[in-house]
Amino acid sequence: MKFSRYLIPIALTIAVVVSLTLSVVLWTNPANYRSKQNSEQNPQTEQLSKPKSYVYTPIQAVHTNSDGTQEILVNRLVNAVTEIKKTMQGYHDAKIKTLSRDSQTKYLNIANRPDSIMLNYSSPVSIKVVNQIVNHRFKNFPNHTVNRIVLPTNNSTKLYLLNDKNFAVYQVSVQHHDLKSLNKVLDMNIRTIPASLRLFNKQPMVYVDDSVQMQPYKYLVDRQSQDYFVSRLMNNEESQNVTAKRRRNLLIYSDQNSLQLTFNSQTRMVEFSDYRTNKDQRAITSVLNNSYKDLVKLGLPLDNVRFFRYDTKTRTVMYRTFVEGFPIFRANGFGTISTRIMNSSAKRLNFSLDNPEVPIPSKRGYTTLPATEVVIRRLVARGYKTKDIQQMRIGYGWQKDKESQLLINLIPDWYIYYNNQWHSYTSLMNQY
């Protein structure tokens, strides 16, 4: 009797507790449907887009020998930077400390350290971005801005991060760098160009010390259709009704609301404007992260496309396609894709429908490019001001092929960042 009196209240309590527990589990369970949607993405684009660690990778490797002489490692059968990056994936117990700041001597001491490999970004990035290429081993570091990584080839516990702007040197201690595989990279069949890191306009720059032989290339072009981008970019839930207007060379698609896509049929360049509210970011890490998302959404093949420059003033991120480790410059110095944040309600993407895909044997002989110092001397003799030359690098100029619209020629030349624009050395010399 006594037992049956308590039976119902106990059962009720259990039932209540069970229902409460189940409710809590169900509410807190991240059983979201989003992952399902994601996996429905076109598998092709998912596969073809490259990871962040691929796009935000250093673009040049400079080796300093034990006698202090330096050389740029040029890709031939392997991508030198990729091979070096592979040896940087297993760091443990990474710790960072600031060695010096505002001291050119100390900076150059580390940058020109004998027995080391220096990986260069063409534009400063944050340590959070570098963290991507070292398998997230630097994730707890303060987010300094850096643009060079120095890897000693004879010290397995130290590496250095450098910032050109304030000559900061950060020392990272790790357990430990696999020197054997790092040195093995140097034995691969890699072409080298004699070089040296020196100050130019009070900023570090890699000088090419001697005239250099460069091979011109011919490339088969991947010609994307306009429809591909209309369906990818103008697909907005808010507005279904996309209109197209033609104005001379321009074909403008608009959703009458916040998206606009403009094709130029003559240059085959595309501009995509997004007038929806964005986060209006300024910090380099978030700008680059966001820009990468836009890149993936765009769906252009990112084969050999690398981050080239972030302009903090205009908030423009430029990506370029690289050949043999050298960037391609199109007309007006444009690269492959650029993303730009204009303000909190406008973003812009520029890209081209034509992009290099397959290299073709070129019958042209090698081109000889002069050494950096010779280029500067000749430019100054032509009346250009040394202080307006901001950067110089060897690159490939994009030239249409006369025989087929499917082919382009890539012509080696020096590229000079002069008055905030990239010009080829040849075009600068032909002016005036």
Partner 1 sequence: MNFRRIELIFLVTFIAIDIFLFGMFEQNTNQQADNMSDGDSDSQVVKEMRDDQIEVSHLSEKKNFAYYLSGTQNDILRQQMGQLANQTPHYVSHELESEFKEPVTVNKTTPQKSINQMLDDPTFVVNGGQYSYSKNLSTSRNLVYSQKAMGSSIYSSEAQISFTLNANHQIVSYTQSYLQDVKSLREKSETISETRALIWLYQYNEIPNNTKIAWTKLGYTKLLSIDNDRVFIPTWIIGIKPQNSPEIQLKKINAFTGGIIKETTGNLKDSQDLSDLTN
Residues that bind partner 1 (CB under 8 A): 8-9, 11-12, 15-16, 18-19, 22-23, 25-26, 29, 31, 35-36, 39, 43-44, 47-48, 75-79, 220-223, 301, 303-304, 323-324, 357-361, 403-404, 406-407
Q: Are 371 and 379 in contact, with CB atoms under 8 Å apart?
A: no
In angstroms, the CA 365 to CA 137 distance is 45
Matching residue, tokens 């197209």: 244
At residue 132, what is the residue type?
Answer: Q
Q: Are 350 and 269 in contact, with CB atoms under 8 Å apart?
A: yes
In angstroms, give the least distance from the CB of 217 to partner 1: 8
Q: Are 163 and 150 in contact, with CB atoms under 8 Å apart?
A: no
Q: By C-beta, is 221 or 233 nearer to partner 1?
A: 221
Q: Which of 195, 221, 217 is CA-nearest to residue 327?
A: 217
In angstroms, give the least distance from the CB of 197 to partner 1: 24
Q: By C-beta, is 142 or 359 nearer to partner 1?
A: 359
Matching residue, tokens 């209109």: 243
In angstroms, give the least distance from the CB of 321 to partner 1: 12
In angstroms, give the least distance from the CB of 87 to partner 1: 16
Q: By C-beta, is 178 or 303 nearer to partner 1?
A: 303
Distances (CA, A) of 421 to 310, 311, 379: 13, 11, 16
In angstroms, the CA 399 to CA 426 distance is 13
Q: By C-beta, is 35 or 266 nearer to partner 1?
A: 35
Q: By C-beta, is 217 or 329 nearer to partner 1?
A: 217
Q: By C-beta, is 75 or 112 nearer to partner 1?
A: 75
Q: By C-beta, is 38 or 430 nearer to partner 1?
A: 38
In angstroms, the CA 324 to CA 338 distance is 21
Q: By C-beta, is 76 or 297 nearer to partner 1?
A: 76
Q: By C-beta, is 22 or 283 nearer to partner 1?
A: 22
In angstroms, give the least distance from the CB of 98 to partner 1: 36
In angstroms, give the least distance from the CB of 33 to partner 1: 8
Q: Which of 203, 109, 127 is CA-nearest to residue 164?
A: 203
In angstroms, give the least distance from the CB of 86 to partner 1: 11
364 CA to centre of own chain: 30
Q: By C-beta, is 215 or 399 nearer to partner 1?
A: 215
In angstroms, give the least distance from the CB of 358 to partner 1: 6
In angstroms, give the least distance from the CB of 299 to partner 1: 13
In angstroms, the CA 429 to CA 419 distance is 15
In angstroms, give the least distance from the CB of 189 to partner 1: 10
In angstroms, the CA 341 to CA 282 distance is 9
Q: By C-beta, is 22 or 250 nearer to partner 1?
A: 22
In angstroms, give the least distance from the CB of 263 to partner 1: 18
